[in-house]
Structure 1
Amino acid sequence: MDTDDLLRRGLDWVARIAPYDLAAVFTLDEGSLVVRAARGHLASQVRGHRIDLARFPTLREALETRRARAFTEDDHRHGDGDPFDGVLDLSPGHACMVVPLHAAGRSLGVLTLDRTHCESYPPAVVDQVETYGQILGLALDNAERRVALENLREAELERARELDEVAAGYGVLERSVSPAVRAVAARARQVAPTDTPVLILGETGTGKERLARALHRWSARADRPFVAINCAAIPASLLESELFGHTRGAFTGATRDRLGRFQLANGGTLLLDEIGELPIELQAKLLRVVQEGVVEPVGSDKSVKVDVRLLAATHVDLEKAIARGRLREDLYYRLAVFPLRLPPLRQRLEDLPLLCAAMLAEQSQRTGRRGMRVSEEGLARLRAHAWPGNLRELSNVLERATIVTAGEVLGPEAFELGDMPTGTGPIEPAPKTMSAEAPLQHDGRIATLEEVSALQIQRVLAHTRGRIYGPGGAAELLGVPPSTLQSRMKKLGVARTA
């Protein structure tokens, strides 16, 4: 029901309390009152009628005191006059009532009732209509808030569409000249219109969330919510509540009911990023959601039905995670119905011109530098880099270059592609206990990938003196978000050094 329909029904209902020939709702518009809705056989003559509040002190008084008032013949003859003077030919002695409409401490307008019958409304009727006016005011306020929220949601959806367009350009996808990326885009287009779960694989920084947004944008759920949650960025103790919601009193600090990400994404798409980091104790509950489409909020014994298209993303080798007992095999097969693997940047260097152009255009909103471009010599230098941080690292390199370059052309000298930005010095050699000469442990065996990762994090933390955040921090150097790095450190047992 829209606001105008609500008001029309409200005016029809008030006739049960107080008969009228004309009932009208005026809403405030700066210093005026404007007829928003009208009912009765005189309604067609007053629609759109506007009055200046400055000319009607009694109406201002009604709004300020929030009390209803019935007007007498004397009021009409010697007071402000009638709000419909010049529009309707009503006798001075006709029955007239003004009821203020307000809610949440805010004046919304007035309800007016008029009868051609020359007799004032009785005080008991005025009191009843005043009470009804409070209810109508609350309903009007709720309707306006609902419209405002809907407009905000539409604006957010439009913004999301704009971001998705940027994301599509950022990740190139269908405009890519890389055969590997074009193949991924084609497969993504095939699966997007379905509700089939998709598992997006790829190294950190390859654009997995951007691909997920593209899948949502290409689906029939495009005008519904897209919700993402990073399973590695939220402490395990809070992750269950974040995913499934909780009821008031479910745990200390749960002062109200809260919807989880599955409920927030109802009707739309949910991305479970870094699914390989999901605690094993939550995987059975997630499996039930995937299988049955129901969630059970923390602290509740009731199941809530949800309609969610599920996407998952990870840089972890999930088959190895299964072998190590860190991932349920049955959950893996539920999520990996349609896998998509994004290639790392080093395997799609032919896309550098497109990627650079898209990223520079997107960054111009932050840097204020429009029209920036990379020269051929600059592109040659970028192609020579290994890009361990993939697209995220490229974005950082381009943004730094934009900031320090006076002109619009980024040449090879503009790019800081070492282990540290120019002027901060090389990474210091690691202590002997963390030798990086070869991927060997002191017992002579080959180090595992996790041991090598821990070693690299330790080396970078030693160089940054334990600093994780900000320019030149360990997270930026490693090309990962700070929250992801901290989660990885906790998992690998790496201490933050000072």
Structure 2
Amino acid sequence: MTILSPSPFAIDPEQILHLILEALENVVEYDLAVILKLVNQDTLAVEQARGRLFFQELQNYQIDLKERQDIAKILQQQRPVLFDKEDTHIDTYHDILELPVDHSCMFVPLHLQGTPLGVLTLDHQVCDMYSASTVRFIDTVAKLISIIVTQSRSSRELLSVQQRLTQERNLLLQEKSKHFQDVIGGSAVWQTVLDAARLVAVSDLSVLIQGETGTGKEQIARLIHRLSPRADQQFVALNCSVLSPQLAESELFGHEKGAFTSAYTQRKGRFELANGGTLFLDEIGDLPSELQPKLLRALQEKKFERVGGEKTIYSNVRVIAASHVDLGLAVQEKKFREDLYYRLNVFPIALPPLRERKDDVLLLAEHFLSQLRAQPYYADVHLSSQSVDCLQRYPWPGNVREVQNIIRRSALVAGGKRIDPEHLALKTLQPQNTLNEAFSDSEYPEQKKEHEKLQPLDTVIRTHINKALRLCNGRVYGKNGAAALLNLKPTTLQSRMKKLGINRE
């Protein structure tokens, strides 16, 4: 099955709209330019906005055409309107933005072959800024914007088909497929992780992978990338724990020449390098606190500026983050931003430690041995029955990474032949005097703890919907609404909210 992947050179329609507004400002002066898209027959929602009067709340602004019959009428007439200072009319954004009574205001419907698509509005605080010739020019620009809005709709429909094809392929893929070559395991708890990776791969949702050191967080992130429509594009990894506060912003967003003392040339950051692909932020809990709000903005708005630069850069990136610490606890302790946590934790995946998937130990050991056998020196390397027993009894505090390291070391010590317990040297890794003491259950009381009881399904769904509503500021409809985030029809989401007794916050 062939899966279409986006070209790394393709420009997102939203980015094109932003560039048009940016270029328009060089020709026609405005304090606020807004493109609103018709999301259904009765609602206009802000798609792009720019200008000195722009503020964040405007990004989620919607107009109910049932209440604004004046705007609905202009949409139907499909002709641009320049309001004269003598005209009596209600400002487009009267309920969130206060403008002078005699300010300049232009309202241009967007339509294609008679089909209404939305509107373009231009506002300036100074009176009589726009002439009839300006209106004709903006009407021409509006025709171009209408084509792009239509293209945006077609792109979303294509993406939906692409996601369905990818999901069908993922369900058909077997664990023996090359896609799963680095995520070895057959235990039930590990299959749950792989199923979660299959499920989330088809979407662009942010993923937060949490688990102990050595459990395979980067391998799962790479699996999600391989199973996604972005598989043909870049997978860019960045370990946040090695970033210094001084250079962290440059690593993420790049810098311009001369931005600081050692910036001798322009440099692209990881967000820019990962455009069209996946950005993996490992140990996200160690990200410097001063950089966290900038990362949040890049995730929310898909745009940023290089250090020392003024030009806004768009980046179509899917972000997967990972941490070995409990980020929820870090939020409670004020060590990590709560809003950034919720933005990253849209789809959480918890990786089990190896002591909870003991059935996978021998599979992992054999996997690492088979890799070694590809080298002539290790062609005959194998485990003795006593070594097999030791591997199964050992608690593996270092998880999968420890298995890999021990197999590599013991194969070398064994001369590439049979690996015996003395070659494994597991005893030396524990403070106890005997091998049996090293495997004592009393040293690992967590193994005896019972698993937490599963919550009722309605409770899990209610929690997930509430989280989505918080992320979207209570908004259900539109591209930035909870329905789009959850990949549901707005009517379906509202039905579930009603059933579960969920009210918009």
Q: TM-score, normalised by structure 2?
A: 0.49
Please tell me whether Structure 1 or Structure 2 has the larger radius of gyration of its CA atoms. Answer: 1
Q: TM-score, normalised by structure 1?
A: 0.49
